[in-house]
Structure 1
Amino acid sequence: MNKDEMEGKWEKAKGKVKDKAGEIAGDADLEARGEAQHAEGEVQEKFGQTRRKAGEAVEDLGDKIKGE
């Protein structure tokens, strides 16, 4: 897991808390901000996963070229 994946998971969790707090408090603005933060975290996490997988693919290709 890389930095983007970890930060994305953290942002998703914080967004979920804000979303639920807004829902409980009847604060539509807080709820919307929580949903947006959760979505941003999802994007960041997916970016991190893609970045990690691309790095792994490059390493595998390098190993094949070297004959390992």
Structure 2
Amino acid sequence: MAINQDILEGKWKQIAGKVKAKWGDLTDDDITKVNGNAERLAGVIQERYGKTREQADKEARDFFDQHR
């Protein structure tokens, strides 16, 4: 399932608070770096939470699918 990056990046400011609520260990800098990019979000989730890449990718994809 492809995620439209332009739409996500445009809505990022609106959903960044939801990202922070879901993944509370992410810093404001992490959220700024992600800037609506699902791959970057997965990388940060993987790093902060010690998840596998597959787990982090699934969480990021599921989150963005819910907030399109």
Same fold flag (TM > 0.5):
no
Asked which structure has the greater CA Rg, the reply is 1
Q: TM-score range by the shorter chain?
A: 0.3 to 0.5
Q: Report the TM-score, using the length of structure 1 for normalisation.
A: 0.32
